[in-house]
Amino acid sequence: MKKIIVGMGTCGLSAGAQPVYDKLEELAEKHPEACVLDITGCIGMCFREPLVEIQDDTGRTIYGDVSETSAEEIFNEHILGGIKVDNDNVIYGVNKDGSTYGSEVSFLDLQERIVLRNCGIINPESIDDYEEIGGGYKGLKKALTAMTPDEIIQTMKSSGLRGRGGAGFPTGLKWSFAAANKGDTKYVVCNADEGDPGAFMDRSVLEGDPHAVLEGMIICGKAIGASFGYIYCRAEYPLAIERLEKAITAAKAKGYVGENIFNSGFTFNLKVKQGAGAFVCGEETALFASIEGERGMPRIRPPFPAEKGLWQKPTNNNNVETFANVPWIIANGAEAYSSIGTEKSPGTKVFALAGKVAKGGLAEVPMGTTIEQLVFNIGGGIKDNGEFKAVQMGGPSGGCIPADQKTTPVDFESIPATGAIMGSGGMVVMDQGTCMVGIARFFLDFTQSESCGKCTFCRIGTLRMLEILDRITRGEGIPSDIEKLQKLSIQIKEASLCGLGQTAPNPVQTTIRYYLNEYKAHIEDKKCPAGECEALVDFVIIPEKCVGCTLCARNCPVDAIEGKVKEIHIIDQEKCVKCGKCITSCNFSAVVKR
């Protein structure tokens, strides 16, 4: 019997997967002998959602950009007729012999998936799928019945896994600190408070493979001697929370969560704690305060969480991606993991490709893969054949890496050398139409508004920097502003208590470092080279392209455009309010920003 699987992650649902599923359900009910209908999470090809996969005796076929109409066509031809629909909607397929085909083969085939191994493959709401297809809970059984806590920790150390939340601290070493501290109660915390603009890795893992995260947390609990775990997930991720709750309930029913797991004498329970969306709660001590019911504000360290964390008890905190690696490492061995990636940054890393990249979505690649390979080989290059300008890595705490450094390997050593940071994996791609001063302002505006206010330099210093950037983008900057920005950046970094303040100036520092000419153009020439800062841009009509159709003049809300029919038109700069209606209405690309 054929199987139909609909991608029902947040990206799929946002693109219209629910009506597609409903249509297929309606058709399947009329032909119950022909197929079964199921769901899955995000496979990573967000740019082609909604996705529908057909599994039959020939293999797997994934259709992209599926609508209700095309869903019916796929059902009639592929399910009932046994013939694959031959059009551009076939984006990926796997034959029985393992060979692949489809228009988006390079996107998936160039990846190496460990964290995303089950995403888009299994039904995330089925623990049976996780066990039977994903090999689920085998790592947990091995850890609880065949390994001591020291052996688990040593395996993690030997694997070389480093924290995927951004800091890159060795996971096994971190676990050993929590294990060494004695206490009647210990906690395992999963940081799922993914707050970086452009980042959606953790959300997709929680929606597509929640049991992998639970399994990793339970294994950690055994290693450090903890009996309780919290998953701190932002409330803006309702689908992730729903599937986590279902996963915990199913795991309890199977005996993987609760008392005496695998008759090993080990007990571990889990709870989901919803966060209110404060970016600062991504910092672990602020996160602990939030779980405790307090305002999310960082604490002074030491003592570190391994000694006094949640409720002043020894606590280990890792992010979603880190925990999702753990079951695979335990089941397959440390050597299998450490053989991937680089010597100092083993394993794989999941990246969220966003911005001006042609193929936005999730990609998991070995550490050491270059930015160029990610953006061009997997991401398909720049939208609309644009020119690659930079990538922002590390979110608001990260920095911009220019195009001339696109061969930089993505690992914990190479990226910091550029002035950016690895971060949790957000990669925002920019083209030549992106103003780097505006980008710095955007991210600083975010961190300034998300500052908890505890540190004076973070609270006030970022505000002063933002005010300067505001002036520059309005054309009111002065030459000394650049020096002020650099001085404030150093002071904020050195005087802030937590990672938010310590890294907030990074976007400004890296854009000044690599795009000083753009700052000078804004300040000295009162021009925005990218044409994004409205106060510094003029809308003009190119005489050679204007045919005098009058569309621009008719659509101008302030009558700022003059010209007769079939004659060249002119924009009165004093009247122009820079609304952009002239650009969108022109069919000949005659109106440009300068």
Q: 69-115, pLDDT tens digit by residue?
A: 999 999 999 999 999 887 778 999 999 999 999 999 999 999 999 99
Q: What angle do CA 192, 367, 511 make, to 5 degrees?
A: 75
Please tell me whether residues 398 and 297 are part of one structural domain. Answer: no
Non-local CB neighbours of 123 within 8 Å, separated by 6+ positions: 5, 38, 39, 40, 129
pLDDT attached to residue 531: 87
Please tell me whether residues 239 and 328 are part of one structural domain. Answer: yes
Please tell me whether residues 18 and 162 are part of one structural domain. Answer: no
pLDDT attached to residue 41: 97
Residue 122 lies in a domain: no
> Which residues of the chain fall below pLDDT 50?
none
Under 8 Å between Cβ of 593 and 539: yes
Q: What angle do CA 50, 40, 214 make, to 5 degrees?
A: 135
One DSSP character per residue, 89-141 reads TEEEEEETTS-EESTTHHHHHT---STTSSTTTS-TT-HHHHHHTT-TTHHHH
Bridge partners for 229 per DSSP? 188, 270
pLDDT attached to residue 575: 93
pLDDT attached to residue 185: 96
Among 49, 79, 109, where does a domain finish? Answer: 109
Q: At what angle do helices 506-514 and 480-495 cross, to 10 degrees?
A: 140
In angstroms, what CA-CA distances link 290 with 190, 293, 309, 343, 509?
A: 13, 5, 12, 37, 31
| Structural domain boundaries enclosing 470 | 436-525
Residue at 100: amino acid letter: T
Under 8 Å between Cβ of 124 and 40: yes
Strand order in the sheet with 52-56: 35-40, 2-7, 52-56, 59-63, 90-95, 100-101
Please tell me whether residues 198 and 317 are part of one structural domain. Answer: yes
pTM: 0.92
Residue 188 lies in a domain: yes
Nearest to 495 by CA among 527, 458, 522: 458
Among 386, 410, 431, where does a domain finish? Answer: 431
pLDDT attached to residue 593: 85
pLDDT attached to residue 566: 94
Among 493, 525, 557, where does a domain finish? Answer: 525
Please tell me whether residues 323 and 203 are part of one structural domain. Answer: yes
Under 8 Å between Cβ of 51 and 364: no
Look up residue 459 and give its DSSP letter: I
Please tell me whether residues 210 and 229 are part of one structural domain. Answer: yes
Residue 343 lies in a domain: no
Domain count, the chain: 5
Beta-strand relationship, 258-261 and 266-275: antiparallel
pLDDT attached to residue 110: 95
Please tell me whether residues 267 and 386 are part of one structural domain. Answer: no
Examine residue 50 and say whether the peptide bond preceding it is cis (omega within 30 degrees of 0). Answer: yes
CATH number at residue 362: 3.10.20.600
